[in-house]
Amino acid sequence: MSLPRIALIHFHLESNRAAPVSDRKEFEAQRLLIGEELAKAARQTPPRVSSCTKGFLSEMGDFDMVPIFSAAAGAGGMMDGALFDELLAEIDTRLPKDLDAIYVDAHGACIATNDEDPEGTLLQRIRAKCGCDIPLVMTLDLHGHVSPTMIELADFISAYRTNPHIDQFERGAEAAIALKRLLAGETTGRALVRLPFIPPSTSQNTDTGPYARLMGEAIALSKGDVWNVSLCSGFTAGDSQKAGFNVTVTACDSDTAKATATEMAARVWQAREEFSINLTSIEDSIDLMKTSQTPLIFGDVADNPGGGGRGNVLALFEAMLEAGVQKALVGMLFDPTLAAQAQELGEGAEFDASFNREESSPLSGKLTRKAKILKVRSAPVECRRGLYAGGLQNLGPCALLDCNGIYVIVSTIRRQLCDPAFIERFDLDIADFKSVIVKSRGHFRAGFDEFFAPEQVIEVDGPGLTTPVLARMQLNKTPRPIYPADKDMQWSPEQSCWTVP
């Protein structure tokens, strides 16, 4: 018996509309593999592919791989439209007609400069080439936005169930299991309910609170005729026309899918007021750094590169310098110019470090302080815990500086600090610090849980492109009314429900 021919597409970008456009350079810095380059990465041991794709490959076993592309740039601004068009053209040229199935490993919250629903357009392009008779399965990030086009053209959708995200491998494997059922002749119905509800980014932890409870209920409903219930909170800073908490159900038929999706959506709507934020001002954070008896980790949640933040907002660091905070580490400030200068001067050198010399975002700020270069590093980081565990992360040339007694890591590639390995590569022991400051919204929790219990985590209310404070965001495309911006609005699941077929 011949092996099934399955095409692989990996398409990941979380677009923050306020951030600079994510161009080819941004993708090349992280991942832009076309055709055979993707197959080569997948054949390495361990495979150098996303965790979802790893899970898919592992569960799928032997198949005839048709690699189309792998394009990922974490989180940034909108995708450059020309690059998006190039990727669509790759679909046209590389997808063979005699295909048995397709796996699309996507984020779900991409916006291109020329397209408000790139994931939907991607599926349209695939179907235009391959028709609608072969199965297509898709995995998404928990922060993805699902469109009616996506449930129309994908036979199965599964989104991450964890935040911080640690179940990508399982979701990829789940997509492979679904694909095997579809290849055996089973069919599905899908339903999507989009709620007019954007929960604050810092209220979306799935370990505790309302999201944890709702996710448990969604998992309990995912059995028998219901293949999968996915709860995507969406990505508010995307300011997307697709914004809003969405419930996507794949089931044996569309009636079952619709009944499950509307029931689950009603439960989410009921719980909307429980998604509250609990931020600590910069001033109070500084007090804690100086007085706390136990070590603390501070998430600079408003400047999270993992949500398209610049990763170089200096407000908190500057306040720490002013207050003379000691035994503290700030990681990581995105500053390619400063990192290059430190690499050139070398370890041991002392110099006037000018932060953000070439940054144009007004929220980032600028400052110059005397600094000593303690260590420089350039090799990619072998990640060990949390979101990036088991993978390699390229941060480009980096430096560890001592600035008035505060240790600060400077990087060339903009990345959230959510893995202890990013710090340990400088031969530092995290336990030596009283205060660790990370540019991350929530993924650092899974990386640093062996050092900091949940009660040792402080979420700082600073400036930045990823602030969870809705009132400070520019929301122009997000549909209105929407909760909590429009507090008194009425809504029922039937108002925004799509079903297929």
Q: Distance between alpha carbon 174 and the CA centroid of its chain, in Å? A: 20
**Does residue 125 touch Zn ion according to CB under 5 A?**
no
Shorter beta-carbon distance to Zn ion: residue 119 or 141: 141
Shorter beta-carbon distance to Zn ion: residue 54 or 143: 143
CB of 108 to Zn ion, least distance (A): 9
CB of 335 to Zn ion, least distance (A): 25
Query: Segment near Zn ion (CB under 5 A), from 137-145, 172-180, 273-281, 471-479?
Result: 137-145
| Exposed/middle/buried for residue 4 (C-beta within 10 Å: 0-12, 13-18, 19+) | middle
CB of 277 to Zn ion, least distance (A): 17
Give Dmax over CA atoms of the chain in angstroms: 71
**Whole-angstrom distance, CA of residue 190 vs CA of residue 155:** 8
Q: Distance between alpha carbon 250 and the CA centroid of its chain, in Å? A: 23
CB of 143 to Zn ion, least distance (A): 4
Shorter beta-carbon distance to Zn ion: residue 75 or 314: 75
Shorter beta-carbon distance to Zn ion: residue 17 or 125: 17
Shorter beta-carbon distance to Zn ion: residue 141 or 359: 141
HEC letters along 31-49: EEEECHHHHHHHHCCCCCC
Strand segments (E) across 219-313: 226-232, 246-251, 280-281, 296-299
End-to-end CA distance of the chain: 32
The residue number with the shortest CB distance to Zn ion is 143
Tokens of 320: 């720490």
Q: Which of residues 357-396 bind Zn ion (CB under 5 A)?
A: none
| Exposed/middle/buried for residue 230 (C-beta within 10 Å: 0-12, 13-18, 19+) | buried
CB of 287 to Zn ion, least distance (A): 31
Among 26, 141, 359, 449, binds Zn ion (CB under 5 A): 141
Q: If DSSP codes are grouped into helix, strand and coil, which group holds residue 66? A: strand
CB of 142 to Zn ion, least distance (A): 5
Shorter beta-carbon distance to Zn ion: residue 141 or 303: 141
Shorter beta-carbon distance to Zn ion: residue 149 or 233: 233
Query: Segment near Zn ion (CB under 5 A), from 77-85, 87-95, 140-148, 440-448?
Result: 140-148
**Whole-angstrom distance, CA of residue 210 vs CA of residue 126:** 37
Query: Segment near Zn ion (CB under 5 A), from 46-54, 131-139, 143-151, 377-385?
Result: 143-151
Q: Is the omega angle on the peptide bond into residue 96 within 30 degrees of 0, that is, cis?
A: no
Q: Other C-beta atoms within 10 Å of 327: how many?
A: 14
CB of 141 to Zn ion, least distance (A): 4
**Does residue 419 touch Zn ion according to CB under 5 A?**
no
Query: Segment near Zn ion (CB under 5 A), from 116-124, 135-143, 344-352, 383-391?
Result: 135-143
Q: Say if residues 113 and 119 touch (Cβ distance below 8 Å).
A: no
**Does residue 143 touch Zn ion according to CB under 5 A?**
yes
Give the total of residues touching Zn ion (CB under 5 A). 2
Shorter beta-carbon distance to Zn ion: residue 135 or 144: 144
Shorter beta-carbon distance to Zn ion: residue 80 or 141: 141
Q: Which of residues 210-269 bind Zn ion (CB under 5 A)?
A: none
Query: Segment near Zn ion (CB under 5 A), from 16-24, 136-144, 169-177, 188-196?
Result: 136-144
CB of 74 to Zn ion, least distance (A): 10
Element (H, E) at 70: strand 64-76
Shorter beta-carbon distance to Zn ion: residue 138 or 321: 138
Q: b/e string for 27-43 if b means 16 or more Cβ within 10 A?
A: bebbbbbeeeebeebbe
Question: How large is the C-alpha radius of gyration of the chain?
Answer: 23
Site residues, Zn ion (CB under 5 A): 141, 143
